[in-house]
């Protein structure tokens, strides 16, 4: 069948049609002559607060007004040129969505095989909370073990493409590990500052990747201040890659939303629960789904988005409950879900707007509950979540109990990383044997799964 006809049919039906075309540099539009397709359809940057626009092809940080810049794309043109079938024919990596990403040239992509993580049903744990249609998007299966690899792959690729030689950033650990790793892959230098309480393995990952690593007796905001001062004093030698202070980490995280939609056959679930610190993943998923709506690739309503926080650090939950559009700093923040210990997020207004716009909500869960879910999920499903991911299970259980979630809802929880990064969250009480000791096995096999 002619590509133009295929394109027209897919456009009208809203689903991929026919045989996937091979990935080539040119592709036919719906009408008219063959056109050269760009690798990226990025057009400009736009302030999320005041809408002032900025050129995208030079290094940029925040808007003059102090707020984050968002990448904008030529979606009307892309919608007439790209087929779902084109995307389906590509490698299972987040770069399959390259038209909706900011990197201009394929040669500049810095990749370690990130993306297209599994979407797994959680049948037993779902049944235990009255949610038969519970699924997890498992970001534990990605380089460096967390979804932070997405932001790092896209952010480092674009920074290098724009001529950056060294990146600097504060982190709660996982993002620093990912950015140090991808910076090494790109041949860039990295300066990483994290709280000394951040997961030990993330310090190891930074060190082994050759980052200049500092540990601070404080929280991520304290690390951020130090990075800001160091970057200012370094006369342009370092690029400040702090959360939402550059526009492209968000674009990498957005691919979680693109993948989810594709994995569901280009439609949305009813609800998505996301463990929220800086909120970049939630803002990114929201942005991705809106872009897909504008392209006509998803036609349903957006899912209700839920920001999940720990009760020891819940500034977004408090702001949501008060109906506010920005959050106050949370004093004395602490939780076992270390990645979401963010007392004040730069993008708080974007998180809250996404919750209000999608008729979502915000929920705080106790550490004891999220740790209990972590254990139950590993025992009954074989999925060892990080504590941040497990927080979304505790929140789902809470929301089902309160009636906010219905048993017919298709609910997706984001497990943002593997539990392997946080061995200290699971106590192990295994007897130690001497060589030659006899084992006394119990009559009933030692099984504590959710099957009983
Ligand atoms: C495992 C994990 N989950 C969730 C988050 C929160 O990320 P976001 O900035 O997207 O809210 C982090 C941030 O460090 C993290 O490490
Ligand atoms: Zn602005």
What's the 203 CA to ligand 1 centre distance in angstroms?
Answer: 16
Ligand 1 site-directed mutation target among 138, 169, 174, most atoms within 8 Å of CB: 174
| Residue 445 in this model has a pLDDT that exceeds 70 | no
Query: How far, in Å, CA of 440 to CA of 452, rounded?
Result: 24
Q: Is 199 helix (H, G, I), strand (E, B) or coil?
A: coil
- Structure tokens that stand for 85 in this block: 């079938």
Query: Which of 188, 143, 140, 150 shows the shortest CA–CA distance to 422?
Result: 140
Query: How far, in Å, CA of 370 to CA of 335, rounded?
Result: 10
- Structure tokens that stand for 379 in this block: 């025992």
Q: Which ligand is nearest to the CA of 280?
A: 1
Predicted confidence band at 23 (pLDDT cuts at 50, 70, 90)?
A: very low
Is the domain covering 119-145+255-425 a CATH 3.90.960.10 domain? no
Average pLDDT over residues 410-426: 96
pLDDT digits 0-9 by tens, 270-319: 999 999 999 999 999 999 999 999 999 999 899 999 999 999 999 999 99
Using a pLDDT cut of 90, give the percent of the chain over it: 88
Predicted confidence band at 25 (pLDDT cuts at 50, 70, 90)?
A: very low
In this structure, the residues whose C-beta lies within 6 A of any atom of ligand 1 are 146, 172, 174-175, 243, 275-281, 339-340, 386, 388, 416-417
- Structure tokens that stand for 59 in this block: 């290094």
Q: Is 385 helix (H, G, I), strand (E, B) or coil?
A: strand
Q: What is the per-residue pLDDT for 142?
A: 97
118 within 8 A of 418, measured Cβ to Cβ: no
CA distances to 121, 389, 450 from 420, in Å: 21, 12, 21
Q: What is the per-residue pLDDT for 184?
A: 98
| Residue 91 in this model has a pLDDT that exceeds 80 | yes
Average pLDDT over residues 416-431: 94
What's the 343 CA to ligand 2 centre distance in angstroms?
Answer: 23
280 within 8 A of 255, measured Cβ to Cβ: no
- Structure tokens that stand for 283 in this block: 């803002």
Q: Which ligand is nearest to the CA of 273?
A: 1
Average pLDDT over residues 187-212: 97
Q: 399 vs 35, which has greater pLDDT?
A: 399
pLDDT digits 0-9 by tens, 345-384: 999 999 999 999 999 999 999 999 999 999 999 999 999 9
Q: What is the per-residue pLDDT for 442?
A: 77
Predicted confidence band at 447 (pLDDT cuts at 50, 70, 90)?
A: low
Query: How far, in Å, CA of 140 to CA of 381, rounded?
Result: 14
Q: What is the per-residue pLDDT for 18?
A: 44
Query: How far, in Å, CA of 396 to CA of 415, rounded?
Result: 13
Q: What is the per-residue pLDDT for 443?
A: 74
- Structure tokens that stand for 146 in this block: 């967390």
Q: What is the per-residue pLDDT for 399?
A: 98
Report helix angle 280-294 to 249-263, nearest 10.
60
Q: What is the per-residue pLDDT for 27?
A: 39
What's the 68 CA to ligand 2 centre distance in angstroms?
Answer: 7
Q: What is the per-residue pLDDT for 14?
A: 52
DSSP H or E run through 362: strand 361-365
| Topology (CATH level 3) of domain 148-240 | Rossmann fold (3.40.50)
Question: Average model confidence (pLDDT) for the chain?
Answer: 92
Query: Which of 242, 312, 336, 335 shows the shortest CA–CA distance to 280?
Result: 242
Q: What is the per-residue pLDDT for 36?
A: 79
Query: How far, in Å, CA of 143 to CA of 154, rounded?
Result: 13
What's the 159 CA to ligand 1 centre distance in angstroms?
Answer: 21
What sign has the CA pseudo-torsion 394, 395, 400, 405? negative
∠ CA 282-140-419, nearest 5°, is: 105
Query: How far, in Å, CA of 94 to CA of 391, rounded?
Result: 25
φ, ψ for residue 389, nearest 5 deg:
-65, -40
Ligand 1 site-directed mutation target among 384, 388, 389, 393, most atoms within 8 Å of CB: 388
Lowest mean pLDDT among 100-114, 178-192, 422-436: 422-436
SS in 3 state form for 227-274? Answer: HHHHHHHCCCCCEECCCCCCCCHHHHHHHHHHHHHHHCCCCCCCEEEE
Residue span(s) of the chain under CATH 3.40.50.1100 come to 119-145+255-425, 148-240
Strand-pair category, 26-27 with 35-36: antiparallel
Query: How far, in Å, CA of 226 to CA of 220, rounded?
Result: 10
CA distances to 431, 434, 445 from 440, in Å: 12, 14, 12
Ligand 1 site-directed mutation target among 177, 205, 277, 307, most atoms within 8 Å of CB: 277
Q: Is 372 helix (H, G, I), strand (E, B) or coil?
A: helix
6 within 8 A of 29, measured Cβ to Cβ: no
| Residue 335 in this model has a pLDDT that exceeds 70 | yes
250 within 8 A of 283, measured Cβ to Cβ: yes
């Amino acid at each position: 069948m002619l590509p133009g006809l295929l394109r027209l049919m897919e456009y009208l039906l809203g689903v991929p049609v026919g045989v996937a075309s091979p990935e080539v540099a040119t592709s036919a539009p719906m009408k008219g002559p063959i056109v050269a397709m760009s690798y990226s359809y990025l057009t400009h940057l736009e302030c999320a607060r005041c809408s002032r626009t900025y050129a995208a092809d030079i290094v940029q940080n925040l808007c003059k007004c102090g707020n984050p810049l968002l990448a904008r794309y030529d979606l009307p043109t892309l919608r007439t040129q790209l087929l779902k079938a084109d995307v389906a024919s590509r490698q299972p990596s987040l770069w399959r969505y390259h038209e909706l990403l900011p990197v201009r040239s394929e040669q500049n992509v810095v990749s370690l095989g990130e993306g297209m993580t599994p979407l797994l049903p959680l049948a037993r744990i779902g049944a235990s909370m009255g949610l038969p249609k519970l699924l997890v998007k498992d970001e534990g299966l990605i380089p460096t073990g967390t979804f932070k690899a997405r932001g790092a792959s896209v952010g480092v690729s674009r920074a290098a493409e724009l001529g950056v030689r060294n990146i600097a950033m504060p982190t709660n650990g996982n993002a620093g590990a990912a950015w140090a790793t991808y910076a090494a892959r790109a041949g860039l230098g990295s300066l990483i500052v994290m709280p000394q309480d951040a997961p030990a393995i993330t310090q190891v990952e930074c060190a082994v990747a050759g980052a200049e690593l500092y540990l601070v007796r404080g929280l991520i905001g304290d690390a951020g201040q130090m990075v800001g001062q160091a970057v200012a004093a370094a006369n342009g030698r370092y690029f400040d890659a702090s959360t939402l202070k550059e526009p492209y980490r968000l674009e990498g995280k957005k691919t979680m939303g693109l993948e989810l939609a594709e994995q569901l056959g280009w439609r949305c679930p009813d609800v998505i629960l996301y463990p929220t610190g800086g909120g970049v993943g939630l803002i990114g998923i929201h942005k991705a789904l809106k872009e897909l709506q504008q392209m006509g690739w998803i036609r349903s309503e957006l899912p209700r988005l839920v920001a999940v926080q720990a009760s020891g650090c819940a500034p977004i939950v408090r702001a949501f409950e008060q109906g506010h559009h920005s959050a106050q700093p949370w004093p004395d923040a602490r939780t076992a879900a270390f990645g979401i210990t963010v007392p004040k997020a730069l993008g708080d207004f974007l998180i809250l707007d996404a919750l209000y716009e999608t008729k979502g909500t915000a929920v705080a869960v106790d550490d004891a509950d999220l740790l209990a879910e972590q254990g139950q999920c590993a025992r009954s499903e074989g999925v060892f979540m990080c504590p941040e991911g497990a927080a979304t299970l505790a929140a789902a259980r809470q929301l089902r109990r309160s009636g906010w979630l219905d048993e017919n809802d298709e609910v997706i929880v984001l497990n943002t990383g593997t539990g392997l990064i946080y061995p200290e969250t699971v106590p192990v009480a295994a007897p130690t044997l001497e060589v030659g000791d006899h084992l006394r096995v119990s009559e009933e096999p030692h099984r504590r799964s959710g099957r009983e």
